[in-house]
Structure formats: structure tokens, C-alpha cells
Amino acid sequence: MPSKSTPPVVLLHDVDAVRADLVTALESADPSLRPGLEEALRIAERHGALTDEQRMGEWVRRTLRAADIDPAADHVRAVKALREAVPGLGLIAANGLVRAAGRN
């Protein structure tokens, strides 16, 4: 159970299912569609190789970019933005996420 110092976030990713569907689609794809499907498969494989920490860091950076916040310039606003994005996210957890995302 999350506490105020741990994020109440569960990462769900179905990259394996997406990858399997792309492989199946490639097997019967029209030659004109193959390059796009092959690129999609490369993207899925790249995302499948990410750790949960990397995924979380990417989410933090995307969330802060969307809010037009530079965490290095305004750490307090960055923490506030994450807490608004995830109701129930504790101050300590949000602070840790901003700091961790800045290291990656």
C-alpha cells in the first residue's frame, strides 16, 4: 500500500502483447505496409526494454513538459504539477520523482 513517501502509481504495460500482434501482422502484411510495421515493431521493442524506473522518469518529464515547467528552474512548481496530475501523490514521493527524473 502506498504511503505519503511512495508514489501511488502502478505501471501497466502490454508491450509483449503489442509486439506479438505486430509480428502476426507482419506475417501477412502487404509489402507496402511492411516498412511501417517493422518500424512499429522496433519502437515496441525499444519500449519493452525500459525498466519501470525509466518509464516513470519518462512520464514525469512528459508531464512537466506538458505543464511547461523546467524542474531545474522551478522544483516547487514541478512537484505541485505532479501532485495535481496524480491525486493522492504525497509531497515526499512527488519530490523524489522530480529529483529522480532530473538525474536521468
- Ordered mean pLDDT values, 10 residues apiece, the chain (104 residues): 54 79 95 95 89 88 95 95 92 92 74
Residue 48 CA to residue 43 CA, distance in Å, equals 9
**What was the pLDDT predicted at 97?**
93
> Among 15, 10, 35, which residue's Cα sits nearest to residue 25?
35
Number of Cβ atoms within 10 Å of the Cβ of 93: 22
**What was the pLDDT predicted at 55?**
86
**What was the pLDDT predicted at 6?**
58
**What was the pLDDT predicted at 65?**
96
**What was the pLDDT predicted at 29?**
95
